[in-house]
Structure 1
Amino acid sequence: MFTYAVDIMGGDLGPRVALKACKRFLRFRRDVNLIVTTTAEFEQDVRSVFSFRKHSVRIIVCEHAVDMHDKPAQMLRKGLTSTMAAALQECAAGRAQGMVSAGNTGALLVLSRRILGMISGIDRPALATLLPTRKEPLLMLDLGANLSASPEQLVQFAALGVGWHEAQNPAPARLGLLNVGRESAKGTDAVRQAASVLEKTLPDRYQGFYEGDDIYKGDIDVLVTDGFAGNITLKASEGLSEWLQELIHKEFRQHWFMRWFAFLWLPAVRNIEKRISPARHGGAVLLGLKGVVVKTHGKSDARAFRYALRYLHKTSANFHLDKLTECVDKTRQSTEICSYE
């Protein structure tokens, strides 16, 4: 049996969205138990929703919920008695194999580091998710946990990404750095310095610089960038995906002959939507922690939250802390003889 902690209080759309997702998830996963953290205001709602499998759900009632607009001082004041902290504490105690939240990203970063702790050799966690490509999915990090990153941190992100990929795939990871060009002289100082170190520390994996139009070609397995560029890339991709889906449906509605032959096109259209829908790729894992923490969009609806739960289940089932630690240690030992110039 797997047990996951769910902070239902964090999203923009309210806890009932998360509850709806959890209920549907449990209906199809008989091998999963949930620990649901909530406030007293919604305790009865939680009990009512899970009456069909009440023995599979444990409820923790907390004093506070971290608000999406809380400032750092407010987070620290009420954070440790919040629903988010309670879910993390269940993971730290070993009673849950992972947790998911749609709450405040800054609060999740602070509390995760404090409660779960970091892998030795990693300064800060990075948000990572799998993006669909023409070939196999691409692991991209960082997606917004760190708006800026030093050369050392970019190398750490690379080690985390490679370790994560190789824990789940037999072939060595193909690693790239996101840049504004492929030439060695292009890019920020941090990116160029990180590249020079990766060429020496991960020579059989590092493939060089990759530009924005390379992301969806599927030629690499792991793409590293700072959180500023990563978050903009992710949000732009999601916006484009949503617009493409709207455009497809608009074309079907506008032309009568398209509606007549919808039975021919519909299966293909649905397959395309499945591959590019942001809801299906709405979960990001915080890499670098001693545990599995999945962050989903604050604006996630029930469908997106359910996919985040599925992502948590898949992620925790394939989580190998020893593999991540091994890759980080090897990279750190190699970087000790390299200079960031």
Structure 2
Amino acid sequence: MFTYAVDIMGGDLGPRVALKACKRFLRFRRDVNLIVTTTAEFEADVRSAFSSRKNSVRILVCNNAISMADKPAQMLRSGLTSTMAAALSEVAEGRAQGMVSAGNTGALLVLGRHILGMIPGIDRPALATLLPTRREPLLMLDLGANLSASPEQLVQFAALGVGWHESQHETPARLGLLNVGRESAKGTDAVRCAAGYLETAMPDRYQGFYEGDDIYKGEIDVLVTDGFAGNITLKASEGLSEWLQELIYKEFRQHWFMRWFAWLWLPAVRNIEKRISPARHGGALLLGLKGIVVKTHGKSDARAFRYALKYLHRTSASFDLERLAGCVAKTQQSVGLCIDE
């Protein structure tokens, strides 16, 4: 059996969205139990929602919930009695294999570091997710946890990405740095400096700079950037994906004769939607913590939240923290030697 903690109080659309997602997720997952963290205000709603699956759900009623407006700096004072902290504590104490939240990203970072701790050699967590490409999915990080990053932090993100990929696959990771050009003289000082470290420390993995239009070609396995560029890239891609889906359906449906052949084109359109829909890729791992933490969009609807739960389930089934830490330590050792020189 798998057990996951769910903070239902985060997110812009309220807890009922997360409740709906949890109910549907459990309907098709008899091998999963949930620990749902909520406040007294919504306790009755939670108990009613899971009345038919009482044995599969444990409810934790907490003193407060963290809002999107709360400042991360206040979390160690006011956030330790929150629903988010309770869900993280379930992971830290081994009662849950992972947790998911749509709440305040800054708060999740601060509380995650405080409650779960960091993998040795990593200073700050990074948000990472798998993006669809022409070939195999690409792990991209950081997607917004750290708006700026030093060369050393970019190298740490690279170690996390390479470590994650190689803990999941037998083949060495192909690593790239996101930049405004492929030439060695282009980019910020931090990116150019990080590239120098990686060229020396990871010559068999590091493939060089990659531009925005290279992301979906499937040429590499891991792409590293700071959270500012990563978040903009991710959200621009999601916006484009949503518009393309609308455009495809509109073009097919506005002509009456196309409706007669819907049985021909609709399966193909749905297959495309499965690959590029942001809702289906709505979960991001907070890599670097000593535990599995999935962050989904604050604006996630029930569908996107359910896919975040599915992402957590897939990840926990194959996630090996010790192997990841070992890969990170090995990578960091070679990078450390390079930096010391």
Provide TM-score, normalisation by structure 1. Answer: 0.98
**Is contact 2:167-2:327 (8 Å) kept?**
no
- C-alpha distance in structure 1 between counterparts of 2:66 and 2:133, whole Å: 35
**Structure-1 residue corresponding to 2:228:** 228
Q: Which residue matches 1:324? A: 324
Q: Which residue of 2 aligns with 1:152?
A: 152
| Alignment match, 2:239 | 239
Counterpart in the other structure of 1:53: 53
> 2-side partners of 1:48 and 1:162: how far apart?
44
Instruction: Report how far residue 237 of structure 1 moved.
Output: 0.3
Any conservation in 2 of the 1:65–1:83 contact (CA below 8 Å)? Answer: yes
Specify the alignment match of 1:174 in structure 2.
174
Contact 2:166 2:327 in 1 (8 A): no
SS at match of 1:135: coil
Give SS of 2:79's match.
helix
Give the superposed CA RMSD.
1.2
- 1:138-195 Cα offsets, whole Å, 9 max, x none, are 0000000000000101111011101111111111111111111111111111111111
Q: Are the equivalent residues in 1 in contact too, given 2:282–2:308 (CA < 8 A)?
A: yes
**2-structure distance, mates of 1:116, 1:159:** 19
> Helix, strand or coil: the match of 2:24?
helix
Choose 321-330 or 73-82, whichever is displaced more: 73-82
Which residue identity does 2:24 align to in structure 1? Answer: R
Distance 1:108 1:207 in 2: 32
2:22 match: 22
Conservation of the 8 A alpha-carbon contact between 2:286 and 2:293: yes
- For the pair 1:272 / 2:264, whether they are aligned, the reply is no
Preserved contact between residue 194 and residue 340 of structure 1 (Cα < 8 Å): no
The alignment partner of 1:339 has SS state of helix
Deviations 1:4-36 (A, max 9, x none): 000000011110110010011111111111000
* Alignment correspondent of 1:87: 87
2:313 alignment counterpart: 313
Within-5 A mapping of 1:295-306: 295-306=295-306
Kindly state the Cα deviation for residue 78 of structure 1 after the two structures are TM-superposed.
1.9
Structure 1 segments (4+ residues) deviating >4 Å: none
Displacement, 1:74? Answer: 4.2
Distance between the aligned counterparts of 2:170 and 2:335, measured in 1? 25
Q: Which amino acid aligns with 1:150?
A: S
Q: Distance in 1 between matches of 2:235 and 2:183?
A: 26
* Long gaps (5+) in structure 1: none
Residue 36 of structure 1 is matched in structure 2 by 36
Q: Is the 8 A contact 2:71 2:106 kept in 1?
A: no
Q: What CA deviation, in whole Å up to 9, does each residue of 1:52-105 have, x standing for no partner?
A: 110111000001000011123543332000000000000010000000000000
Q: Provide, for residues 279-313 of structure 1, a one-character-per-residue CA deviation record: whole Å limited to 9, x for no partner.
A: 00000000000000000000101100000000001
Distance 1:72 1:282 in 2: 23
Gaps of at least 5 residues in structure 2 are: none
Alpha-carbon separation, structure 2, partners of 1:234 and 1:56: 35
Q: What SS class does the counterpart of residue 36 from structure 1 fall into?
A: strand
Moved more, 218-227 or 256-265: 256-265
Q: Is the 8 A contact 1:197 1:340 kept in 2?
A: no
Distance 1:42 1:3, change over 3 A: same
1:211 aligns with 2:211: yes
Paired with 2:311 and 2:277, the residues of 1 have a C-alpha distance of 14
Distance, in Å, in 2 between the alignment partners of 1:73 and 1:201 is: 35
TM-score (norm 2): 0.98
Q: 3-state DSSP class of the match of 2:192?
A: helix
- Partners in 2 of 1:137 and 1:244 — Cα distance? 20
Matched residue of 1:80: which SS?
coil
Shift of residue 231, structure 1, vs aligned partner: 0.2
1:140 matched to 2:115: no
SS of the aligned residue for 1:338 comes to helix
The whole-number CA distance in structure 1 between the counterparts of 2:71 and 2:177 is 33
**1:192 equivalent in alignment to 2:187:** no
User: Aligned AA for 2:34?
Assistant: L
Residue equivalent to 1:248: 248
2:103 paired residue number: 103
Q: How far apart in 1 are the matches of 2:323 and 2:176?
A: 20
- Offset from partner CA, 1:112-144 (integer Å, 9 cap, x none): 000000011101000000000011100000000
